[in-house]
Structure 1
Amino acid sequence: MIGIFKTNIISQQERQQMIHAIETNFEVGTCHVDLEDCDRVLRIADLNVEENTIINFVRTQGFLCEVLE
């Protein structure tokens, strides 16, 4: 499954921090945040947990996160 989420991650440092945190805490494939996109899209390949689990985790890291529709 691929997870696609809207975030408010704005800097390279925040992106690296969030990707590292996700990859450390979950078994996922590639993880990317598009800082150029207006929705700061977080895309997670091979997502093996519920989307709500990722949303809650990202929020505990201090960022907005919701499913991009």
Structure 2
Amino acid sequence: MVLVFKTNIDTVSKVKRISAKLNKLFPKSKWNFDLEDCDNILRFESDIDIVKEVMILMKITGFECEAL
């Protein structure tokens, strides 16, 4: 399934701050940020529903995240 989130991650340096945590917590998922999109989209490809976990991680790390 593809999960899509609106975020406030708008720079490569912010992506670098969260990328290790995303890889560690979701090792079987593929993800990417679209910094060109006005909503700074985070897309996940995952076999399971991880919406709540992604939103909690983003909040704990100090970023905004909304499931679309």
**Both proteins in one fold, TM over 0.5:** yes
Q: Between Structure 1 and Structure 2, which shows a larger proportion of strand residues? A: 2
Q: Which residue of 2 aligns with 1:28?
A: 28
Identity of aligned residues (%): 29
Kept after mapping to 2: 8 A contact 1:19/1:32: no
- The verdict on how the C-alpha distance between 1:22 and 1:44 changes in structure 2, with shifts beyond 3 A counting, is same
User: 1: CA distance between counterparts of 2:47 and 2:15?
Assistant: 18
Kept after mapping to 2: 8 A contact 1:28/1:44: no
TM-score for the superposition, normalised by structure 2 = 0.85
**Residue 60 (structure 1) shift:** 0.6
- The more displaced of 48-57 and 30-39 is 48-57
Q: Which residue of 1 aligns with 2:37?
A: 37
The code of the aligned residue for 1:52 comes to: K
TM-score for the superposition, normalised by structure 1 = 0.83
Aligned residues: 68
- Gap runs ≥5 in structure 1: none
**Residue 63 (structure 1) shift:** 0.4
- The more displaced of 17-26 and 1-10 is 17-26
User: 2: CA distance between counterparts of 1:34 and 1:26?
Assistant: 19
- Point out 4+ residue stretches in structure 1 off by more than 4 angstroms: none
- Gap runs ≥5 in structure 2: none
